[in-house]
Amino acid sequence: MSMQNVGRPTRPESPASDADAPFASLTGGRGLLQDEPLIFELGGWTKTGVDLPAADADASDLGDLVRAEPIGLPGLSEPEAVRHYVRLSQKNHAIDLALYPLGSCTMKHNPRLNEKMARLAGFADLHPLQPASTTQGALQLMDRLAHWLKTLTGMPAVALPPKAGAHGELCGLLTIKAAHEAAGHGERRRVLVPTSAHGTNPATAAFVGYSVQEIAQTEDGRVDLADLAAKLAPDVAAIMVTNPNTCGLFERDIVEISRLTHAAGAYFYCDGANFNAIVGRVRPGDLGVDAMHINLHKTFSTPHGGGGPGAGPVVLSAALAPFAPAPWVTHGSDGLTLTEEAVGEAAQAFGRLSAFHGQMGMFVRAYAYMRSHGADGLRQVAEDAVLNANYIKAKLADVMSPAFPDGPCMHEALFDDAWLDGTGVTTLDFAKAMIDEGFHPMTMYFPLVVHGAMLIEPTETESKRELDRFCDALRALANAAKAGDTERFKAAPRLAPLKRLDETLAARKPRLTWRPEPIPVAPAPLAAE
């Protein structure tokens, strides 16, 4: 039986014996993986791993704000605290453990060089309110990062403050809105979005105050030009198109999409979430794009997930550049500074998106990635991302059904659930079984235009060996499903700490707050007669 790095079988060569069946240990642990309760459930409420000196003053000036009860934090020694978080980390999947196939999320390796650079004192110890004269190095890095982003996209301006992809969408649409209002076209209140768009696209448009109308998709997974042309009208402010799109395909008619949009007086917003598939090979500015956000975590390897931090700079065309939000880096007689006031060249800026300048740590990491790769290396990023996705598509095409089998894909391979017909296994079941094989599931049921979608993005950082290991696991599961081993899937995952969850109940009745169990009070002993 072949074993993968986390010690779980991926390619069973013979039926498992009863001896191989999972069993419940006496402690709740599984081998070397220890059971771990919530930190609040651990004992030791009266101890701490840190000795704090007594306060120099009393709290008499706080009035009724003085705490009347204990704060309720658990007390742990230093070894207990360290062990708790190490045990929790062993329950999570991570990019440092195995391939992370989430499509349209680009969960790829974060080079340690980037982390080393971000921890340099000159970057890590900055304060956003320092005088510009003391932050020249940081401002120069931001200026160079902006230069690279403009060069790679063929766009003349960039706004660095947005903190994530959706925040970048907000920046782009607010810029478009400001441009229309400045031109006296405030009546443009409609945004066109393809049916396969990221869900944040229509949500952002609605948040800005636009109404949203869908653009149909063709049978081969691309924007329907006829439907787009029919819906473009004097009230359309912009279109929002992802390219490469969420089906993992390049929009072949992108130049015509741009021409039709501009002819109607609207702006072309491109969702740049999948820029890693074309970086160094295609410049969106050459395609007629007016605004595009770039997820630094997706294309340029900064950390991703866990709620942040993130960075989603927005590149802008010459028509939109005057309306970009403050601040931006400018060159002056005294060196670099930040233009923050709506005067001079910033007179038409629509305002601010964040209190300060963006995510400095993410800027450093992304710039380190760019400099370590160079122009030729970034071009190879796109080539390898596309090569890896097409390798997976080709390797699994005989056991799974590609949603768009004709022609190559871009950076992600999309399968539908047609190959599961008659097996009694669903996309969700298959994804849960992947957990038992040590892999995080791919994106499920998205894009919505593909039934039972399974969207796989291997990224450019995976080797052929890792891709083969992943494909072997999926091939083994596919064969098991077709062989009628439905129990393997309906009960999966068996090896995860919490097994198979009732996701409907968890969504409808989540337990968001831990409360201590009441301590039972022992009855008083009976008095002796």
Could you report the per-residue pLDDT of 277-296, keeping only the tens digit for each? 999 999 999 999 999 999 99
For residues 333 and 337, give the distance between their C-alpha atoms in angstroms, rounded to a whole number: 10
Band of residue 5 on the pLDDT scale cut at 50, 70, 90: very low
pLDDT at 476 over 70: yes
Q: Give the residue, 350 or 26, on which the prediction is more confident.
A: 350
| Same domain as 142, residue 189 | yes
CATH number, domain with residue 430 = 3.90.1150.10
pLDDT at 144 over 60: yes
Tell me whether residue 45 is in a domain. no
pTM score, two decimals? 0.87
pLDDT at 7 over 60: no
| Same domain as 469, residue 360 | no
| Same domain as 322, residue 448 | no
Tell me whether residue 150 is in a domain. yes
CATH number, domain with residue 169 = 3.40.640.10
| Same domain as 331, residue 233 | yes
Tell me whether residue 496 is in a domain. yes
Quick one: pLDDT at residue 518? Answer: 64
| Same domain as 481, residue 337 | no
Q: Which residues pair with 202 in a beta bridge?
A: none
Q: Where are the alpha helices (DSSP H) in 104-246?
A: 112-118, 121-124, 136-153, 165-182, 200-208, 225-231
Tell me whether residue 357 is in a domain. yes
**Structural domain of residue 181, as residue ranges?**
113-370
| Same domain as 211, residue 162 | yes
| Same domain as 172, residue 292 | yes
* Overall average pLDDT of the 424-428 stretch: 97
What angle is formed at CA 452 by the lines to CA 103 and CA 7, rounded to 5 degrees?
A: 60
Could you report the per-residue pLDDT of 167-213, keeping only the tens digit for each? 999 999 999 999 999 999 999 999 999 998 888 999 999 999 999 99
Could you report the per-residue pLDDT of 88-105, keeping only the tens digit for each? 988 888 888 899 999 878
Q: How far apart are the first and last CA of the chain?
A: 71
| Same domain as 334, residue 231 | yes
Quick one: pLDDT at residue 17? Answer: 44
| Same domain as 474, residue 359 | no
Tell me whether residue 98 is in a domain. no
Chain CA centroid to CA 502, Å:
25
Nearest to 380 by CA among 509, 279, 519: 279
- Which CA distances in Å does 142 have to 2, 145, 272, 311? 48, 5, 20, 13
Q: 291 and 267 in contact (C-beta within 8 Å)?
A: yes
Residue type, 166: A
Tell me whether residue 168 is in a domain. yes
Tell me whether residue 419 is in a domain. yes
Number of domains in the chain: 2
- Which CA distances in Å does 84 have to 38, 76, 91, 524? 9, 10, 11, 37
| Same domain as 164, residue 297 | yes
Q: Give the residue, 295 or 49, on which the prediction is more confident.
A: 295
Proportion of the chain above pLDDT 90, given as a percent: 67
Point out the domain boundary residue: 370, 396, 421.
Answer: 370
Could you report the per-residue pLDDT of 206-255, keeping only the tens digit for each? 999 999 999 999 999 999 999 999 999 999 999 999 999 999 999 999 99
Residue 513 token pair: 């707050």
| Same domain as 311, residue 292 | yes
Point out the domain boundary residue: 370, 405, 424.
Answer: 370
Point out the domain boundary residue: 370, 391, 407.
Answer: 370
